[in-house]
A and B are shown apart, each in its own frame.
Chain A
Amino acid sequence: MLKEYKADFHIHSCLSPCGDIQMTPKAIAEQAKANGLNAICICDHNSSENTAAAIEACKQNGIELLFGMEVNSKEEVHTLALFDDIHSLNELQKTVYDNLNGENDDETFGYQMVINEDDEIADINPRLLIGATELTVETIVDRIHELGGIALASHVDRERFSLIGQLGFIPPDLKLDGVEISPNYIRKSMRYDFPMAPGFTQVTFSDAHFLHDIGKTFTIFLVEKITVSEIKKALENKDGRSVIAYS
């Protein structure tokens, strides 16, 4: 049976250098529940190391979880990757780490905290997670698909770190599953459609870096359950599945 799911698939945890230290997987899941979300995905910059801890936290709070990452390409284009399982995400993680250089400077960019299932700091990630990988955006999208995931262009309306800002327009051969427009675009322009991405299904998520931003912006999917294949169908408007609203 089809159901409406209120989803926020772009949330940063305290693993992202710019993510607030209160953004532990447990706190994120609790806040998601409090804000009436049904499904979330933690998408940290170039890393997925806080996803394991989110599994139990989401279960406890009755929140559906997708497994994700926000990958930064060679061109400094951000892409959201969403998966059904942690195994595929770990494979993407390997590809990303193999192509990511540099060390983080905690003082300048912020601490990158890996959180365990007991909501404690297990490790500090030393990599320069905010950096650009040596992978082209095409390579990233192809790799996400190879691993069975969904690839969405992050905040395409923004000038920095977006596909259109960095590369001027959407490369014609790029096989995206959809585009994300940022909360600011809707607020500022008072419109929901982004004219520079014709033909792509649009979604919007919070890109939250602080607890109070979680679910402020969301997309409602009409699907049977929260899986990659169902969300893909919704993005393609197939078999009665659809993206029914976003705000």
Chain B
Amino acid sequence: MNLKDIIERLDLKVYSGNTDREVSGGYASDLLSDVIANAKPDNLWITLQTHMNIVAVANLKELSGIILINNREPEETTLSKAKEEDITILSTGMQCFELVGKLYEMGIHGNGE
């Protein structure tokens, strides 16, 4: 599925980056070490972490985007780095469980299947 469609259907706020990207699946975690170990390329990453390191992790793992939950906003340093490196940062008022449920219903699954 294209990230654009997801943004539209879930009414996500776009902070930075290209939104015309294919999404291979999803990964939800707030431990960046865990994301480095387990996320797959083009995964959409769901987290509450807003630190600048999320940009580097998304870059390293070639993720399709980051969705910040619970109305969290990226730090200023995070946002400027994301713009610089064209990393897609999105946000939603939904909590993690709710968001993951909606994504799953839309056909965005984890890496286990």
Q: Is the CB of A169 within 8 A of B31?
A: no
Known: A75-B49, A136-B51, A168-B36. A159 touches B56 (CB 8 A): no
Known contacts being A75-B49, A75-B51, A137-B51, is A168 close to B33, with CB within 8 Å?
yes
Q: Kindly supply a per-residue 1/0 record for chain A positions 48-83, scoring 1 wherever the CB is within 8 Å of any chain B CB and 0 otherwise.
A: 000000000000000000000000001110000000
CB-CB under 8 A from A227, the residues of chain B are none
Q: Considering only CB atoms and an 8 Å cut-off, how many residues of chain A contact the other chain? A: 15
Closest to B49 in A: A75
Q: How far is the CB of B52 from chain A (nearest CB, A)?
A: 6
- As a 0/1 sequence over residues 45 to 72 of chain B, the CB contacts with chain A under 8 angstroms (1 = contact) are 0000111110011000000000000000
For the residues of A in contact with B, the DSSP-based class is loop
Contact B75 A168 (CB under 8 A): no
Query: Is B75 touching A169 in the complex (CB atoms < 8 A)?
Result: no
Bitwise, B14-52 to A at CB < 8 A (1) or not (0) is 000000000000000011111110000000000001111
**CB interface residues, A 149-191, toward B, < 8 Å:** 159-160, 164-169, 171
User: How many of B's residues come within 8 Å of A, CB to CB?
Assistant: 16
Chain A's nearest CB lies how many Å from the CB of B59? 11
A169 contact from B34, B50, B56, B77, Cβ within 8 A: B56
Docked Cα-Cα span, A50 to B35, in Å, equals 38
Q: Residues on A close to B: CB < 8 A?
A: 74-76, 136-138, 159-160, 164-169, 171
Given contacts A136-B75, A165-B32, A168-B33, 18 further A-B contacts (CB under 8 A): A74-B51, A75-B49, A76-B30, A136-B51, A138-B77, A159-B31, A159-B33, A164-B33, A165-B31, A166-B30, A166-B31, A167-B32, A167-B49, A167-B51, A167-B53, A168-B53, A169-B32, A169-B53
6 tightest A-B contacts by CB? A168-B32, A167-B53, A165-B33, A167-B32, A75-B51, A168-B36
Interface set of B (CB-CB < 8 Å, partner A): 30-36, 49-53, 56-57, 75, 77
Q: List 24 A-B contacts (CB under 8 A).
A: A75-B49, A75-B51, A136-B51, A137-B51, A138-B77, A159-B31, A159-B33, A159-B34, A160-B31, A165-B33, A166-B30, A166-B32, A166-B49, A167-B32, A167-B51, A168-B33, A168-B35, A168-B36, A168-B56, A169-B32, A169-B53, A171-B51, A171-B52, A171-B53
